[in-house]
Structure 1
Amino acid sequence: VHLTRKEFELLELLMENTGRVLQRETLIDQVWGTDYFGDTRTLDVHIKRLRAKCEPDPHNPQHLRTIRGLGYKFVA
C-alpha cells in the first residue's frame, strides 16, 4: 500500500497510541505542526484516504475509528 508522507505520519501516530483516543488538535499539531493554520478538515480527508487504503470496508472501519466530538483512535 502506498501512503503519502502525511498519511504515514498520521497512521504511525495512531498506531503508537493504539486504543487511545487522540484529539483532533493533538493529531494536527503532531502531524502538521503547531504552526499549521489551515483547514482542520484536512485531517478528515487524510483519515478517509487511509481508510480507503487500509480498511477492508472503508464505510465500516474496524481499525481507524472516529470518536465523535473528540478525535480518532486506532484499534488493533
Structure 2
Amino acid sequence: MGIVKIADDLHEEARRASAVMCRSINAQAEFWMKIGMLAEANPSLSFNDIVQAQIAAAHVRLPGATTA
C-alpha cells in the first residue's frame, strides 16, 4: 500500500461520492481507478457494460438481472 497525492478538489469529490455510495474515501478512489483503467483498456464499452462484466466475473447473481 502506498500514498497517492491527489488534488484537494478531487479528494473532496471522492469524499462526497463515498458518502453517497456507502464506501470509504479510499474505496471510492480505488473504484474510480479500477473503472478508469478498464475503460481505457476497453474504450468501446460503456460504464454499465464494464460494471456488468465485473459482476459476471465475480459470479454475482442479481435478482431480476437479465443475461445476454
Task: Name the TM-score, length of structure 1 as normaliser.
Answer: 0.30
Structure showing greater Rg: 2
Which has a greater percent of strand? 1
Which has a greater percent of helix? 2
Name which structure has the greater RCO, CA cutoff 8 Å, separation 6+.
1
